[in-house]
Structure 1
Amino acid sequence: MVCLLRFLLPASLIVINDIFAYLFGFFLGRTPLIKLSPKKTWEGFIGASVTTIISAFLLANVMGRFQWLTCPRKDLSTGWLYCDPGPMFKPEHYSLGESVPHWFPWKDLAIMPVQWHALALGLFASIIAPFGGFFASGFKRAFKIKDFGDSIPGHGGITDRMDCQMVMAVFAYIYHQSFIAPQNFSVEIILDQILRNLTYEEQKYLYEQLGEMFHERQLGQN
């Protein structure tokens, strides 16, 4: 099951990165970044990267407050509007202690675990994903065309707008499956790992410990 936040957050970060790359490049751009995209500048790239990473951290906090974005979904029914979104969206409190001046208004911070993951998405969206656009630019130059299409006036076609999004979508899926999605282990898989990785003495110790745990649980139920 997935929630809307896992789609909207990565997509929003690409949009934010594009917008601020343009703004920083327009107002501060002096140094060309890559020949494939003559209008790209180092100033725009760096400014957009910093802005995107900060935005990822803050945007994850804002989105994580709405259940219609965080509730897991299986279908288009309305039951998913109310749920327990899980520990990923429950704030954890970090005390700043004496590391901040006495006049500082916040003595502790409430940060959702999803915000730490959002930093990884923001880092990818700002540093790696733009190369999807660079690749698309090189592809168009090779075929001597300006845009892939003309369905969006002034912006080309859908592919011209989605080049970075496609790279980001692949990364977001792999990251989610690797670091966020719960892993399902069957009894057969666990037993196989025990037999492969534990010595005979360790297996015997595990067996004895499990026996004691089951015995204590039975006594507790009686």
Structure 2
Amino acid sequence: MKDLSGGGSGTPRFRRRKQSNEIPAEVTRPNGGSLLVDDHNKYRSMWIRTYSTLWMIGGFIFLIYMGHLYICAMVVVIQILMAKELFSLLIKVREDRSLPGFRLLNWHFFFTAMLFLYGRFLSQRLVNTVNSDKVLYKLVSSLIKYHMVVCYFLYIAGFMWFILSLKKKMYKYQFGQYAWTHMILIVVFTQSSFTVANIFEGMFWFLLPASLIVINDIAAYLCGFFFGRTPLIKLSPKKTWEGFIGASVATIISAFLLANVMGRFEWLTCPRKDLSTGWLHCDPGPMFKPEYYDFPGWISIWSPWKGISIMPVQWHALCLGLFCSIIAPFGGFFASGFKRAFKIKDFGDSIPGHGGMTDRMDCQMVMAVFAYIYYQSFVKPQSYFSVETVVDQILMNLTFEEQLDLYRRLAEILQERSFGQS
């Protein structure tokens, strides 16, 4: 009998075709050799990755030019694609067929969380957008006032939907899906939603951290590709110390230089106070105004320059670059361990050469949270009773008639004080 496996005689064997998302067998190299396999697929993979990266960078620049709302729309699309990839990891076809409509429950919780978080981040911007129209203003004010109630009852509706859908002999699978959905919302969606908050605080605080992650990723890949010898971590066999160190140096230098370039554009530094798409004009504040530093005498003798102009925000950029170099890569390591636990190579195949959307966003999520916390803690003015804050609260919480009454009372108080001082 002919051996179907191509070898000697015996019991017929059939080759099983490897699925695209399975982890391929690891190829070892002698000590001192590059960790990346030296075959014809090596450079082909690199060119595919480079081509798709250029497309992503080009599309990203176009969206930056279009404005804040378009960037937010991009974030929403990314979150939906990530959720789709992660929801599908634990799907069992046979069990899902026995539970018609159960898959919609995941998306119910997803969009409820989206409504809650974006409502919290963007409520004041929405009020500022419609405050010129009395009818819309009242409608939006009412929606914001009862925003938490609406979100809570939407969640409770999903909770009741889940309980009523419980089916005998399917309890373990259904509760596993319920827990998995909430983990996705907490670990993935909540973290990535901080990106939207960063965008409206000033696109600088979104664009710089996101760019640093891209630079770090590219530098780590190139340094590891050409110089990688020493393995960094077992979770990611292709990560090397040479790539890690080279990427860290490149990222920190890039952070300092990019902050100077981006800090010169009002379009990137001005916060967006509403949901419009027009061009921004504002006083950039002292953070983005260059300060001149004189070189020491022994340097100025040999240098044609006597000093250097540095924006204060560039020192903050160094902190972002340091975090991006040392801490943010652990988001990628976490994702690598996660994929190994599920025995998959990538979360998806939506980006040629890169895998799924989740594969590209693992470090971005960690960086977005840090950038938000850093900005709120060390950069944003901490005056809780500034004129802008008080006005925002008045517009958000008082009706138009109450605002007019407050205006009249303030006019009377100020008039009395002016008479008392004269």
Give the TM-score, by structure 2 length.
Answer: 0.43
User: Computing the radius of gyration over CA atoms, which structure comes out larger, 1 or 2?
Assistant: 2
Q: CA deviation at 1:178?
A: 0.6
**1:194 maps to what in 2?**
none
Contact 1:60–1:114 (Cα < 8 Å) also in 2: yes
* Corresponding residue to 1:36 among 230, 235, 238: 235
How far did residue 72 of structure 1 move?
1.6
Provide the aligned C-alpha RMSD in A.
Answer: 1.8
Matches within 5 A, 1:125-144: 125-144=324-343
Task: Report Cα offsets for 1:174-201 as digits up to 9, x if no partner.
Answer: 10111001112459xxxxxxxxxxxxxx
Please say if 1:67 is aligned against 2:255: no
* Aligned-pair CA distance for 1:76: 4.1
Q: Which runs of 5+ in 2 are unaligned?
A: 1-199, 387-417
- Tell me, yes or no, if the aligned pair for 1:73 and 1:80 is still in contact at 8 Å: no
Separation in 2, partners of 1:156, 1:139: 14
| Residue 95 of structure 1: how far off its partner (Å) | 1.0
Report Cα offsets for 1:132-187 as digits up to 9, x if no partner: 00010001101111111121122211111000000000110110111001112459
Distance in 2 between residues matched to 1:177 and 1:99, nearest whole Å: 40
Please list the CA deviations of residues 104-124 of structure 1 after superposition, one character each: whole Å capped at 9, or x if unmatched. Answer: 011111100110000000001
Within-5 A mapping of 1:43-58: 43-58=242-257
CA distance in 2, matches of 1:185, 1:64: 26
| In structure 2, distance between residues paired with 1:186 and 1:81 | 25
Comparing 43-52 with 147-156, greater Cα deviation is found at: 147-156
Aligned counterparts, 1:151-170, within 5 A: 151-170=350-369
Instruction: State how many pairs are aligned.
Output: 190
Cα separation, partners in 2 of 1:172 and 1:81, compared to 1, 3 Å: same
Work out the CA distance in 2 between the residues paired with 1:97 and 1:146.
Answer: 54
CA distance in 1, matches of 2:254, 2:301: 28
Distance in 2 (CA, whole Å) between partners of 1:185 and 1:169 is 24
How big is the shift at 1:103? 2.9
Provide structure 1 residue ranges, at least 5 long, that are not aligned to the other structure. Answer: 188-217
Does residue 150 in structure 1 map to residue 356 in structure 2? no
| Normalised TM-score (structure 1) | 0.81
Cα distance in 1 for partners of 2:365, 2:376 equals: 17
